[in-house]
Amino acid sequence: MENINEKLNEVKEHIKNVTYLIHAESLIHWDMQTGIPSKAIDGRIEVVGYLYSECIKLMTSSKIGEWIEYFSDKMDKLSFKDKKIIENLKRNYDELIKIPPERNKEYQMLCSTSEAFWKQAKANNDYEGFKPYLAKIIEFNKEFAEYIGYEGNIYNKCLDDYERGLTVDRVDKVFKELRDGIVELLEKIKASKVSIDESFFKKQFPTKDQDEFGKFVLEKLGYDFEAGRLDTTVHPFTTNFGNKDVRITTNYDEHDFRSAFFSNIHEGGHGIYEQNSADDLEYTGVSGGTSMGVHESQSRYYENILGRSKEFWSYFYPEAQKRFPQFEGVNLEDFYKAINKVEPSLIRTEADELTYSIHIIIRYELERAFMNNEITVEELPAAWNEKYKDYLGVEPKNDSEGILQDTHWGAGLIGYFPSYALGNVYGAQFLNKMRQDIPTYDEEVKNGNFAVIKDWLRENIHQFGSLYTPSELIVKVTGEELNPKYFLEYLNKKYGEIYEI
Amino acid sequence: MENINEKLNEVKEHIKNVTYLIHAESLIHWDMQTGIPSKAIDGRIEVVGYLYSECIKLMTSSKIGEWIEYFSDKMDKLSFKDKKIIENLKRNYDELIKIPPERNKEYQMLCSTSEAFWKQAKANNDYEGFKPYLAKIIEFNKEFAEYIGYEGNIYNKCLDDYERGLTVDRVDKVFKELRDGIVELLEKIKASKVSIDESFFKKQFPTKDQDEFGKFVLEKLGYDFEAGRLDTTVHPFTTNFGNKDVRITTNYDEHDFRSAFFSNIHEGGHGIYEQNSADDLEYTGVSGGTSMGVHESQSRYYENILGRSKEFWSYFYPEAQKRFPQFEGVNLEDFYKAINKVEPSLIRTEADELTYSIHIIIRYELERAFMNNEITVEELPAAWNEKYKDYLGVEPKNDSEGILQDTHWGAGLIGYFPSYALGNVYGAQFLNKMRQDIPTYDEEVKNGNFAVIKDWLRENIHQFGSLYTPSELIVKVTGEELNPKYFLEYLNKKYGEIYEI
């Protein structure tokens, strides 16, 4: 037993060093998004490339091979946590040793360059300029899938990167149910006579006031500013270096109150998840969110299920009215309806809760297509626009509000998008259980007792970091497998009331 | 020859990797000063410690020993630049292999912790809390000096760290001449009947207006915001990761216009020096400022010689008056006198140009004393206060405005302070030469042609990075060794006019 513990300590020391490098890299990435001087970008990409390749060296070190071998017949002697640490180490090792380190480093550097270029491309509506980057990123993803191997569709590999075990077959099934349910509801809403005024959101909302109110709400929800900070970037995101430094970003639109507000609490949901990962998982490789889908379940829970509920605003609206004279004469009911107005639109991050998943389905279909060589990068913008027209009845005027709107592909995140819609599905299923466990749920929200919610999420989800796979976690928490019915029920109830259908 | 070039490329590739690690570390340090969430500090110190020890591993790798051996009889075959690269590599290697890596890492981590703690200590007037950190830092400096070795006084080692070849004997001599000259002039000023009003500087100056004006002036002077940025910190500083990312910080006082303004152009001077180090020196180990003394000559030139000159303000004052109604009714002459008012005071960074060097001499004497075991950390605050009383006739109310005012000792920078006063001496000697080379100097400043100055500095000083030692550089530029007479002449002329003596 003593020998096992010694070995374990060696392993943990090694993983700590890997984590140090990852933290350094992540800080550089954060800096590249928030404030790097433009002339410094090329040099910084070199630095990230170096750190990344050092990190890969550690993660594929022959020592790890030996440790895996050593522990292979001793797994039942390990604690649950230690077993997970070794399993995670092995999974990463087995994948990484299949990829030529040089190619991996090249890909990381490409992603950094491409992410930086995307910002300009979006600003200048320059898909032509962005295209070669995207093409290379897609090719790398195909190449890596071949190195590592996959079952069935090549795109399964991409899905698995963000949601372990997820397959095209499964997503097709869930998304079909989702799409049918949403489209049916959308048709009813279109036929509804209820008309919702949202013009007051388009008044002038000074950045400073939005920023202060955003921080006020984030603190109330339990986002810890002593373990985080809020900055401004083109595309809002959350990044973290352990659970004590979880940074979120936002993008203020002075002519729409909703844009930054809901983005703030969305990122805040990611942030709260990471901040509440247990301390004893830090530096072990199994700390922090277990998958992007579960992550999105937390961010989209805070943004929508909680943040667009009437109870939430019955607590916050008086304060909002105090701070924003722009809401004078708008009562809570009208405000509530306005933040839930359904209107097919072009920009995913600003989509209403109902049509949002359609934006995701469009991206999913395009990713699946380009990973399977069914569409070229030349054809993508037109395909994008056509799907928006077909599914949502809207058409981008240009690529900036079309295919260039999201940072994901430019940053190399292929297979990530589906997690947003899965997040909705997870989130509603968690909500169902939370309501059972906290019968006073609505009252707590109305009274601003958000600690009750944060505590439930920490106890049931956050503290476990990545100890459980998403599919294990959903069963552990709710007692059943992922089931879209809760989300559809939730949507039907909510929008049924709002649109009187 | 081919073999030499191959080896050189190997060496340069290695130095590049070292530089990458240093850039990553420096960014983390910058982040720790500007915006890290408080709970993240301990974890980040671990990261820095890891990167630092990896860096030391590279800098003491046995490969370097072999390269040094290889090049030892081929130095005359190398270009001037390549020779300097190898010499620099060797100097660092020879020092580092004498220090046990573990002790070095511990020291770096101590400095990070201590620097972070100093911020709180200053805010809470807590010298007692800070004392153990300072004691450890002093002990480490003595220990390291013994490892590496030194001639004569142990404090020579500290001086050498920031100004190669500098000794206590030399500093004693220069500082004596300086002190005598300054004290003589100060006595005359005290006897002068000229009285200067500076009350208008104490009006309310909103941070935003100061920030905008500061950036406006920095741009005019040639600080490149595409290769830099300006942030807010407790103690202003400059840090850089190559010549394309040179960041400066400031600290706004809404009740004193001068505080941030002169600090901005001081740091801007450091920044311009780093930004104009030649591109082909990047990642070679010999890029960037050659010594802290020469660095301070640049920052203090911009802050004082240029920034407190009448010609400078005859260009900028109309703009300042446009932006700041607080200056209404104050003419240029009165403004000029007010920014040059001599008044012995407590805070170094806010001292006038004349008494500033006395602040440095006090610190120098204390450093020399504690490095030679002539004073304990317990005795330091009283000794500090006494020297201020003796030399300047002022006495700190508490340690926050006394011994805790500077970040340097907390950050492990012992031997650094003298460079500020040496900077004054270098700066005036450079000015003398600049005036010979640019006979229209005063006119250029009056007309805001600051590019002429920046170009002269780049051509004569900045571009060379660390290719020349400070003593080589001063001779190369001005044709003679460092000579305090230029600075004393400059002071006597300037203050003679202002105080009519």
What pLDDT digit, counting tens, does each position of A152-177 carry? 999 999 999 999 989 999 999 999 99
3-class DSSP assignment, residue A154: coil
Tokens 């997503």 locate to A171
End-to-end CA distance of chain B: 65
∠ CA B335-B339-B344 to the nearest 5 degrees? 140
Q: What are phi and psi of A232, to 5 degrees?
A: -110, 130
How high is the pLDDT of residue B395?
A: 96
3-state secondary structure of A230: strand
Q: Do A438 and A452 contact (CB within 8 A), yes or no?
A: yes
Residues in chain A: 501
Question: What is the longest distance spanned by two Cα atoms in chain B?
Answer: 73
Asked whether residue B20 carries a pLDDT value surpassing 90, the answer given is yes
For residues A155 and A6, what is the distance between their CA atoms, to the nearest angstrom?
41
User: Is A267 part of the annotated catalytic residue set?
Assistant: yes
Torsion of CA B55, B35, B294, B155, to 10 degrees: -60
Residues 6+ apart with CB under 8 A from B2: none
**Token couple for A377:** 């990068």
Chain B positions touching A228 (Cβ under 8 A) are 37
Nearest CA-CA partner of A342 in A168, A492, A128, A167: A492
User: Do A38 and B224 count as a contact with CB atoms less than 8 A apart?
Assistant: no
Provide the sign of the torsion angle of the four alpha carbons A184, A188, A189, A190, taken in this order.
Answer: positive
Name residues 306-365 of chain A within 8 A of B (Cβ): none
| Of A37, A228, A229, Cβ closest to residue B245 | A37
Summarised one tens digit per residue, pLDDT across range A254-310 is: 999 999 999 999 999 999 999 999 999 999 999 999 999 999 999 999 999 999 999
Residue B371 structure tokens: 């490095």
Contact B31/A28, CB-based, under 8 Å? no
Three-state secondary structure call for residue A228: strand
Mean pLDDT of A195-214: 96
Catalytic residue from among A25, A198, A267, A444: A267
Q: How do strand B238-240 and strand A238-240 relate by DSSP bridges?
A: unpaired
Distance of CA A210 to the CA centre of its chain: 23
Q: Return the active site residues of B.
A: 267
How far apart, in whole angstroms, are the C-alpha atoms of residue B121 and residue B124? Answer: 5
Rounded to the nearest 10 degrees, the angle between the axes of helix B470-478 and helix B418-437 is 20
Chain A residues with CB under 8 Å of B120 CB are none
Interface test with A, best of B32, B42, B47 (most A CBs within 10 A): B47
What are the phi and psi torsion angles at A255 (to 5°)? -110, 15
Residues of chain A neighbouring B17 (CB-CB closer than 8 A): 50
Q: Kindly tell me if the per-residue pLDDT of A225 is higher than 70.
A: yes
Contacts of A206 in chain B (CB under 8 A): none
CB A357 within 8 A of CB A365: no
Model pLDDT for residues B480-501, shown as the tens digit of each residue: 999 999 999 999 999 999 999 9
- Find out whether A458 and A276 touch, Cβ atoms under 8 Å: yes
Q: Compute the distance between CA of residue A417 and CA of residue A484 in angstroms, rounded to an integer.
A: 17
B20–A241 C-beta distance less than 8 A: no
Q: Is B296 annotated as a binding residue?
A: yes
Residue A266 pLDDT: 96
Length of chain B: 501
Report the alpha-carbon distance of residue A87 to residue A298 in Å, rounded. 25
Q: pLDDT for A33-59, tens place per residue?
A: 898 999 999 999 999 999 999 999 999
What is the rounded distance in angstroms from the CA atom of residue A269 to the CA atom of residue A263? 10
| Helix axes of A257-275 and A450-460: crossing angle, nearest 10 degrees | 50
Q: Specify which residues A231 forms β-bridges with.
A: A249
Tell me how far apart the alpha carbons of residues A42 and A203 are, in angstroms, rounded to a whole number. Answer: 40
**pLDDT band at residue A108 under the 50/70/90 scheme:** confident
* β-bridge partners, B230: B248
Over range A386-394, report the average pLDDT.
93
Q: What percent of chain B has pLDDT over 90?
A: 95
Q: What is the mean pLDDT of residues B408-415?
A: 96
Local confidence band at B360 (pLDDT 50, 70, 90 cut-offs): very high
For the stretch A327-384, pLDDT in tens is 999 999 999 999 999 999 999 988 999 999 999 999 999 999 999 999 999 999 999 9
Task: For chain B, positions 254-293, list CB contacts with chain A under 8 A.
Answer: 282
Residues of B in contact with A282 (CB under 8 A): 43
Whether chain A has a CB inside 8 Å of the CB on B46: the answer is: yes
Given B20, B226, B229, which is nearest A46 (Cβ)? B20
Number of C-beta neighbours around residue A6 at 10 A: 10
Phi then psi for B412, rounded to 5 degrees?
90, 10
pLDDT of res. A109: 87
Is position A23 annotated in a ligand binding site? no
pLDDT attached to residue B152:
96
Structure tokens at A291: 């998958």
**Distance of alpha carbon B300 from alpha carbon B314, whole angstroms:** 20
Which residues does B248 contact at the CB level (< 8 Å), separation at least 6? Answer: B223, B228, B229, B230, B231, B236, B237, B238, B264, B267, B268, B270, B271
Give the count of Cβ contacts less than 8 A between chain A and B: 94
Would the pLDDT of B112 be above 90?
no
Give B240's DSSP letter.
E
Q: Taking 80 as the threshold, does the pLDDT of residue A432 lie above it?
A: yes
Residues 7-36 of A with CB under 8 A from B: 16-17, 20-21, 23-24, 27-28, 31, 35-36
pLDDT band at B2 (very low <50, low <70, confident <90, very high): low
Per the CB < 8 A criterion, the answer to whether B103 and B145 are in contact is no
C-alpha angle B466/B472/B473, rounded to 5°?
Answer: 60
Please check whether residue A245 touches B, CB under 8 A.
yes
- Pairing relationship of beta strands B238-240 and A228-232 according to DSSP bridges: unpaired
pLDDT of residue A2: 64
B215 vs A: CB within 8 A:
no
Question: Which of B323, B329, B326, B339 minimizes the C-alpha distance to B209?
Answer: B323
pLDDT of residue B109: 87
HSE-up of B61 (CA within 13 Å, CB side)? Answer: 14
- Of B481, B479, B480, B473, nearest in space to B457 by CA: B473
User: Distance between CA atoms of A439 and A206, rounded to whole angstroms?
Assistant: 39
**Alpha carbons A63 and A157: distance in angstroms, whole number:** 27
A39 CB within 8 Å of a chain B CB = yes
B44 touches chain A (CB under 8 A): yes
pLDDT recorded at residue B358 = 96
d(CA B201, CA B257): 5
B-chain residue closest to A42, CA distance: B244
Q: Nearest residue of B to residue A229 by CA position?
A: B37
Among A16, A51, A227, whose Cβ lies nearest the Cβ of B40? A227
Tell me the C-alpha distance between B327 and B319, whole Å.
Answer: 11
Q: What is the rounded average pLDDT for all residues in chain A?
A: 96
Cα–Cα distances (Å) from B315 to A266, B262, B337, B353, B445, in that order, read 50, 16, 16, 21, 7
Q: What is the mean pLDDT of residues B256-267?
A: 96
Q: Which secondary structure element, helix H or strand E, spans residue A428, and what is its range?
A: helix A418-437
Write the CB contacts of A396 (distance below 8 Å, at least 6 apart in sequence). A346, A384, A385, A388, A402, A403
| Residue A383: closest CA among A409, A407, A402 | A402
Structural domains of chain B sorted by starting position, each given as residue range(s) with its CATH number in brackets: 2-148 (no CATH), 168-498 (1.10.1370.30)
Radius of gyration for the alpha carbons in chain B, expressed in angstroms and rounded: 23
Which pLDDT belongs to residue B101? 86
The C-alpha of A210 sits at a distance from chain B's nearest C-alpha, in angstroms, of 18
Judging contacts by C-beta atoms under 8 Å, the chain A residues touching residue B37 are: 225-229, 244-245, 247
User: Pick from B110, B87, B93: which is nearest to B57 by CA?
Assistant: B93
Return the DSSP state at B76.
G
User: Is B270 flagged in the annotation as binding?
Assistant: yes
**What is the chain A residue with the closest CA to B47?**
A20
Average confidence score pLDDT of chain B: 96
pLDDT digits (tens, 9 = 90+) for A121-159: 999 999 999 999 999 999 999 999 999 999 999 999 999
Close Cβ partners of B444 (under 8 Å, ≥ 6 residues apart):
B438, B450, B452, B453
User: Residue A165, by phi and psi: left (phi above 0), alpha (psi -120 to 50) or beta?
Assistant: left
The CA distance from B114 to B109, in Å, is: 8
Task: Quote the Cα angle for A368-A374-A376, to 5°.
Answer: 100
SS3 A255: coil
Q: What is the mean pLDDT of residues B200-215?
A: 97
How much of chain B, in percent, has pLDDT values that exceed 70? 100
- How much of chain A exceeds pLDDT 70, in percent? 100
Contact by Cβ (8 Å): B256, B202: yes
ipTM entry: 0.90
Question: How far apart (Å, rounded) are the C-alpha atoms in residues A126 and A118?
Answer: 9
Distances (CA, A) of B400 to B237, B346, B370, B406, B493: 19, 10, 20, 9, 35
Residues of chain B in contact with residue A27, where contact means CB-CB under 8 angstroms, are 27-28, 31
The sign of the CA dihedral B364, B365, B367, B372 is positive
The token pair at B323 is 């932006």
Residue A483 has pLDDT above 70, yes or no: yes
Distance between start and end Cα atoms, chain A = 65
Sign of torsion, CA B386 B392 B398 B401? Answer: negative
Rounded to whole angstroms, the Cα distance separating A239 from A230 reads 11
The rounded distance, in Å, linking the Cα atoms of B136 and B142 is 10
Task: Please say if the pLDDT value at position A111 is more than 80.
Answer: yes
Q: Strand, helix or coil at A250?
A: strand
